[in-house]
Amino acid sequence: MPAHEQSNPWAPLTPSQLEQRKIVSVNPETVSHTAATDIPGHWGPAQDDSWNLSRFRDNLKVDFHHNKPHDAAFSLIGVDASVANAFRRILLAEIPTLAIEDVFVFDNTSIIQDEVLAHRLGLIPLTGGQEGLKWLKWFRKPPPKDDFAAQATWDAEEGEDSAASVPSDYNTIVLILNVTCRWATKAEDGRDGKALAKDGESDPNIRYVNSNVYARDLVFEPQGQQGKYFNDDEDTQIRPVNPDILVAKLRPGQRIHVRCHCIKGIGADHAKFSPVATASYRLLPQINITQPILGADAKKFARCFPKGVIGLEPSSDDSDELQAVVKDPMKDTVSRECLRHAEFKDKVKLGRVRDHFIFSVESTGQFGSSELTLDSVRLLRAKAESDGVVGTNWVLSYEGIDQLYRGLAAGNWTS
Amino acid sequence: MAQDSDDREMEDAAPGAEANESTNGDFIKEKQRLRLLPGSTDTAASFAFEKEDHTLGNALRYMIMKNPEVEFCGYSIPHPSEAVMNLRIQTFDNVSVFEVLRKGLTDLADLCDVVEDKFTAARDEFDAAHPDGEEA
């Protein structure tokens, strides 16, 4: 690293050194300089790396690449990896989402077992009015009676049934699935299924009626106050994001009649509660051509990267030869192909920019992608505030009886 | 452990002094998720956060390390089956660990504020310039 070569190792870092420490090096077989070194004291007393909110605000940049309702891609530049990762983890596991949890089976004569059907119903992503979803409260589901450890924790916390463990209109959404399959008849459907079957027709859609149970067959039954928030006219009623999800297949005489209770949950509990199809980020790749790559080598070099990453331009000193120039590093997939060829493997340095995160947030459809990202930022702030004493009252209990401490304010707060 | 002269008595919370219920309506509040582990002093202490993991742990560790008065800060998760996160902070002379922890949490909250503001501004600007959501 250049810092060790300078005459005074305790001087503040020069701009080029600051640029250098932002790069994670990508080598043929390894990745180096992965740890962030912007910690106060690491580069000597003259380099000020301590937390400075205004400097952070000036350096932070957010650039959108595309912002479709359920698919957003943006660059978050200037945060540390731990914070970007916190946002990603919260998006995946900690944002409350509505999904089917309890399935009460009245009639299931189909070939799909009850539990398999319930599992499939739970995985169907639902959507509805945003205002209503925010209004919905949590339902604290009591643990099963045969799970003694969980029961003990539950009794310690709850005592008797609190309001949150009773299904009510403010914490549970009810969906009904009631489908019966029968032969198609001339009178009701305009075709005689049995006769067609005798003639050789094998398509179940023609022979029978309701042989396929789709997600669109789930009917929302507003309870109590829910009609105010979820109604037909404003298209805010609870419905599956994709109505064409095949839930089960039936044959004549088989029936599925179930009532589903949907509650709010988080992805950490069950993946069905995760609001994102996936949320991921990658670091911006960096290609640094240290010596000019000309002519045929330049063409070969450009083919080592995805289209659009490397462009060929007339060389500065020798204008009949083309030289390789980096055009768009964002398109690069960092396959390190160029490091496999002797002609230019020593003329290029690959790396990634440590604080440039290219996020891709794909929502399952319940919430919008950019709104989800904002929720994840707010949730991290709520975590920080609830664990500290910022605006709350906390008591710090202690393990050792001989410990005396001061500082943190007192008070218990309950749910 | 010497008694400090500005040792404050622990008072009960004033009745009705609830935490930010309006903003945190969605998030179930728990009791006493933050504990001080035995053997802690005023300048070197270990905390146990219940129901926390790398999400808060790593971010908080980073914010506390950005404080030049901190000699050491690290976090660990003693066992992945238990939702407990231990955080150790050691400070240089005469700096209270509790103040450092409080500052770290406040700084993290400020960071989130700034990110939220910039994100909202960037998103609105993008939506205004690209009504169909695609980049030109």
The 3 state secondary structure assigned to A20-41 is HCCEEEECCCCEECCCCCCCCE
User: How close does chain B come to A218, measured CA to CA in Å?
Assistant: 26
State the smallest CA–CA distance between residue B88 and chain A in angstroms.
15
Give the DSSP H or E segment for A235. Answer: none
Q: What is the DSSP string of A153-221?
A: HHHHHHSS--GGGS--TTT-EEEEEEEE-EE--HHHHSS-HHHHHHTT---HHHHEES-EEEGGGEEEE
CB atoms A374 and B19 under 8 Å:
no
Q: Which of B31, B61, B119 sits opposite A412 (nearest CB)?
A: B31
- Cβ-proximal residues to A33 (8 Å cutoff; 6+ apart), any chain: A1, A21, A23, A24, A25
Q: What angle do CA B52, B56, B58 make, to 5 degrees?
A: 120
Q: From the list A40, A410, A411, which residue is nearest B68 (CB)?
A: A40
The predicted model gives A62-87 an average pLDDT of 95
Report the pLDDT averaged over residues A318-341: 91
Chain A residue whose CA is closest to B101: A388
pLDDT digits (tens, 9 = 90+) for A295-314: 899 999 999 999 999 999 98
Residue A143 confidence (pLDDT): 87
| β-sheet bridge partners, residue B49 | B34, B85
Category of A205 on φ-ψ map: left (φ > 0), alpha (ψ -120 to 50) or beta: alpha
Judging contacts by C-beta atoms under 8 Å, the chain B residues touching residue A41 are 68
pLDDT in tens, A90-129: 999 999 999 999 999 999 999 999 999 999 999 999 999 9
Give ∠ CA A367-A368-A373 in degrees, rounded to 5.
100
In this predicted structure, what is the pLDDT of residue A235? Answer: 79
CB contact under 8 A, B55 and A390: no
Residue in chain A nearest B117 by alpha carbon: A374
Structure tokens, A89: 């983890």
Q: What is the pLDDT of residue B33?
A: 83
- Which residue on chain B is closest to A377 by alpha carbon? B112
Nearest beta carbon to residue A378 from set B17, B106, B116: B116
Q: Do A403 and B40 touch (CB under 8 A)?
A: yes
Query: CA-CA distance, A80 to A57, in Å (whole number)?
Result: 13
What letter would DSSP give residue A338?
G
Extract long-range pairs of A78-83: CB within 8 Å, 24+ residues apart: A78/A355, A79/A355, A79/A357, A79/B111, A79/B115, A80/A36, A80/A38, A80/A355, A80/B59, A80/B62, A81/A36, A81/A354, A81/A355, A81/A357, A82/B58, A82/B59, A82/B61, A82/B62, A83/A380, A83/B59, A83/B62, A83/B111, A83/B115
Q: What is the mean pLDDT of chain A?
A: 87
pLDDT given at position A63: 96
Return the pLDDT at B16.
45
pLDDT reported for residue B9: 63
Instruction: Check residue A188 and give its pLDDT.
Output: 92
- 8 Å CB contact between A375 and A367: yes
Residue A204 pLDDT greater than 90, yes or no = yes
The residue-averaged pLDDT of B73-80 equals 96
Give the per-residue pLDDT at B136. Answer: 59
Query: Do the Cβ atoms of A56 and B38 come within 8 Å?
Result: no
H or E segment at B127? helix B97-129
Lowest mean pLDDT among A30-44, B25-39, B78-92, B108-122: B25-39
Q: Do A383 and B52 touch (CB under 8 A)?
A: yes
> B13-66: per-residue pLDDT in tens?
555 444 444 444 444 445 678 889 999 999 999 999 988 999 999 999 999 999
Candidates A82, A264, A414; nearest CB to B59: A82
Q: How far is B57 from chain A (nearest CA, A)?
A: 9
Q: Output DSSP code: residue A111.
A: S
* Predicted pLDDT of residue B135: 79
**DSSP-derived 3-state class of residue B39:** coil
Rounded CA separation B6/A258 (Å)? 64
Span A355-413, pLDDT tens digits: 999 999 999 999 999 999 999 999 999 888 876 543 233 333 332 222 222 222 222 22
Of A51, A377, A391, nearest to B115 by CB-CB distance is A377
pLDDT tier at A197 (50, 70, 90 boundaries)?
A: very high
pLDDT for position B21 = 42
Task: Indicate if the pLDDT at residue A79 is higher than 90.
Answer: yes
Q: What pLDDT does residue A141 have? A: 85
Count of pairs with CB atoms under 8 A, one residue in A, one in B: 223
The pLDDT score that the predictor gives to residue A157 is 72
Task: With CB atoms and an 8 Å threshold, state whether B19 touches A392.
Answer: yes
Q: Which residue of B has its CA nearest to A77?
A: B115
pLDDT value for A158: 65
- A2-61 pLDDT, tens per residue? 545 556 777 888 999 889 999 999 999 999 999 999 999 898 888 899 999 999 999 999
Are A50 and B67 in contact (CB < 8 Å)?
Answer: yes
ipTM above 0.90, yes or no: no
- Decide: helix, strand or coil at residue B12: coil
